[in-house]
């Protein structure tokens, strides 16, 4: 099974035998891969009924629910990892969803499309219209994306919220060993971003949001 590149980045960092909650799990592709390759105990929460049916047909434990509402019902620290892939920008209150994600899971994976990507910027600059790309295929009037977040927006939120990114992956991967790229280049060049976050304990001192490991995987533009 070939995973979507951001899901492959996430799968690389999940420990074998762990408990995982996949929020907005789609058809369960990541859950099935983690179950089969790493013996993970995976549970899913998905809004779309067709995706729920597809995931259940794979033998996965998935229920229909809304991340904005139903995450509040999960007990604290009930999973090793909580995953939110390509869903953050569709949440009504992404800050609240992220707070629940890190309450439910000891660590949280988040991936999202970068709305500061150069293709998005060019569409606005030259066409004067909201962008439609392979990764953002919907028109402005039917898109589920209601919060347009960039990599630097997320980094600032992580720091302000008292979180730490333990690992991160840029898609495509541009921060390779031996190369030094300015932050503005990453914010323009990466079409997607994936990060593993956790809360900072009070006795750990200063927040250092980018002390993780860049993934070598990449996402074609």
Q: CA torsion, points 52, 69, 3, 149, in degrees to nearest 10?
A: 140
* pLDDT at res. 177: 35
> Residue 153 and residue 123: Cα distance in Å, rounded?
20
Which tokens sit at 104? 């439910």
> Residue 143 and residue 154: Cα distance in Å, rounded?
21
80 to 26, 87, 109, 175: CA distances (angstroms): 20, 19, 11, 28
Beta strands at 192-199 and 79-85: parallel, antiparallel or unpaired = unpaired
Which tokens sit at 208? 């250092």
Please name the residue that has the structure tokens 């907005």. 24
Residue 130 confidence class, pLDDT cut points 50, 70, 90: confident
Which tokens sit at 181? 């790229």
- pTM over cut 0.85: no
> Exposed, middle or buried by CB within 10 Å (0-12, 13-18, 19+), for 206?
exposed
* pLDDT at res. 127: 87
Q: What is the pLDDT of residues 185-200, one digit of tens each?
A: 567 767 777 877 777 6
- Other Cβ atoms within 10 Å of 75 Cβ, number: 8
> Residue 155 and residue 164: Cα distance in Å, rounded?
9
Cis-peptide, bond into residue 20, ω within 30° of zero: no
- Other Cβ atoms within 10 Å of 125 Cβ, number: 9
* pLDDT at res. 49: 96
Would the pLDDT of 216 be above 70? no
Which stretch of 84-93, 107-116, 136-145, 199-208 has the lowest confidence by average pLDDT? Answer: 199-208
Would the pLDDT of 178 be above 50? no
35 to 9, 58, 156: CA distances (angstroms): 16, 11, 34
Tell whether the torsion through CA atoms of 185, 111, 115 and 133 is positive or negative.
positive
Q: What is the pLDDT of residues 1-22, one digit of tens each?
A: 688 888 998 999 999 999 999 9
More confident of the two residues 191 and 137:
137
């Amino acid at each position: 099974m070939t995973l979507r590149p951001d899901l492959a980045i996430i799968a690389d960092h999940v420990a074998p035998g762990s408990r995982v909650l996949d929020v907005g799990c789609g058809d369960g592709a990541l859950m099935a891969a983690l179950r089969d390759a790493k013996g993970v105990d995976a549970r899913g929460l998905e809004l779309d009924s067709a995706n729920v049916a597809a995931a259940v047909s794979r033998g996965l434990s998935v229920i229909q629910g809304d991340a904005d509402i139903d995450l509040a019902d999960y007990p604290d620290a009930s999973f090793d990892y909580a995953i939110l892939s390509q869903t953050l920008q569709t949440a009504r209150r992404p800050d609240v969803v992220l707070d629940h994600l890190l309450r439910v899971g000891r660590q949280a994976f988040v991936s999202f499309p970068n709305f500061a990507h150069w293709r998005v910027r060019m569409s606005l600059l030259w066409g004067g219209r909201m962008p439609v790309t392979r990764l953002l295929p919907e028109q402005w009037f039917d898109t589920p994306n209601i919060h347009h977040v960039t990599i630097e927006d997320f980094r600032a939120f992580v720091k302000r919220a008292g979180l730490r990114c333990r690992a991160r992956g840029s898609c495509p991967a541009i921060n390779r060993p031996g190369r030094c790229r300015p932050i503005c280049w990453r914010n323009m060049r990466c079409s997607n971003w994936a990060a593993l976050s956790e809360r900072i304990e009070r006795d750990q001192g200063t927040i250092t949001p980018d002390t993780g490991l860049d993934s070598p995987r990449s996402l074609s533009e």
